[in-house]
Structure 1
Amino acid sequence: MGSRRPLRLAAFALAFSALAGTGLAGQTVRSQADKPLGVVELFTSQGCSSCPPADEFFAELAAKEDIVALAYHVNYWDYLGWQDTLSRKENTERQYDYMRAFGTRSVYTPQAVINGRSHVNGASRREVDGALARMEKSGEGMRVGIKVSRTSDRVMIDTGDAGNGPSDAHVVIVYFDPPQEIEIGKGENSGRRLTYWNAVTGIQTAGMWHGKAQRYELPMTEISKKGGCAVLLQSVGKDGLPGPILGAAFIHKP
């Protein structure tokens, strides 16, 4: 694969503000656990013959309440005869950014990036589960708690304190589609009907976190128009490449 320009997670012009206070505005109607076991980012393609087993395993991960599972459909296998209906060039760029961050020389599918720290074969239950357990035990799991709550018109994202850990990270909002069943018409998976979960449709940086407990607000209108949404607290290197994910949570629709 040729080199690609590193992805810069662009700040977006929503009415998204960081607040120092901790009191809720209005009545909170939903709250969720603040420290999942980990984050699994699967890079996959409808045109990859090796991907269906990974997609099926990913469906199991997506159903777990203690894992934030996100599927990034890439476009570089489209030349094989089938254009992935869920692929986005931004997803491919994110995978290339991880490639540079990990110091590897190529990308592949199915690739599972665990907690932004390492990558394994996304079809291998043993490797994915092993990486999650190993990182949780070694302190490389979700170190910073994130609590998500909402009122009738806004979502509140409360990030915890880093203590003696890392002091800077991006607050990244990841949008994704609800489960979709797709019939593959051409290519290596021609004739198969597969269900795809949490296919990413957009990635935006919502703000900066500097190691201290902080609140961010997002208009409920932005969540309501999306299929699904997650927040990642992800460190970013000076070169703009993605680093370890320190905390994560789903943002549920009303």
Structure 2
Amino acid sequence: MSKPTLSDFNFDSSALRRYEVEVNGVRVKADTLEDHQRALEAIAALKGVTSAAQNIQPAAVPFEQVPVHSPNGLTVTELLNRYLQMKQLATGSVSAVQNTALQFATFVGKRKTIDQILKVDVTRFAEKLKIEGLALQTVQTKINLLKAMFNFAREYSYLKGENPVSLKVITKAQKMAAGYDIFDDADIVAVYAKSYFGPQKIKDPDYYYACLIAVVTGLRIGAITSLCKNDIQKTESETWFLRIRDDKTANGKRDVPVIPELLNSGFQAYGSLSQPHV
């Protein structure tokens, strides 16, 4: 049997005086003619309420009340991981970006999301670096690394709105004035004084030979520390050279001749024992 509906019944007072019916979860009882009339009015009212409720549309959220935070809510360290996954950076650049991003994350708070970071946070970070003794050029380099990472966030829709990292710490004139000075022989002797530098050959050979390679080749420190023992090679004419496979730029990947004095200093033996990097 199918469930009876309201239309199945004749509500003529002579046919039915007492009944009980449930409409939309509300139970209606009638025992007299007056009850019956009130029941019909109640049923009509309930139908009207149901119809009105079905036509109600959710109110639109005003534009100015829409949350400004991105749905991802990435922190600086989470953005760093995505940035390194998607961008093919040189080994030296990777460490520079990691160090700067983690330093910035610690400064602003590791739980703070990238869309909560303001320009004033970047300014305060730059001021802190300067107070700690970093040169303006070094501070600008760190800011530029952060700027590239936040540009990536905008490109991949991790960040909504403008890039908060747009600070210009040093002007072009200041950069030119703060250029690197050329070291003369006396400066090099002072830096590599045997009283300090000599014992490092035993205490910390990695540090010792990295510094020695830097002074005789002019290579970037990132290129030096990425050297492997099989990168120490010799030509058919018995000229030793270093094969640079990883550097900051494409032009940095090259073969660099080294003077015999470097090999005679014990570097050849050290390189043959190093695993896997020099």
Larger radius of gyration: 2
Which structure shows the higher strand fraction? Answer: 1
Could you tell me the TM-score, scaled by structure 2's length? Answer: 0.21
Which structure shows the higher helix fraction? Answer: 2
Could you tell me the TM-score, scaled by structure 1's length? Answer: 0.23
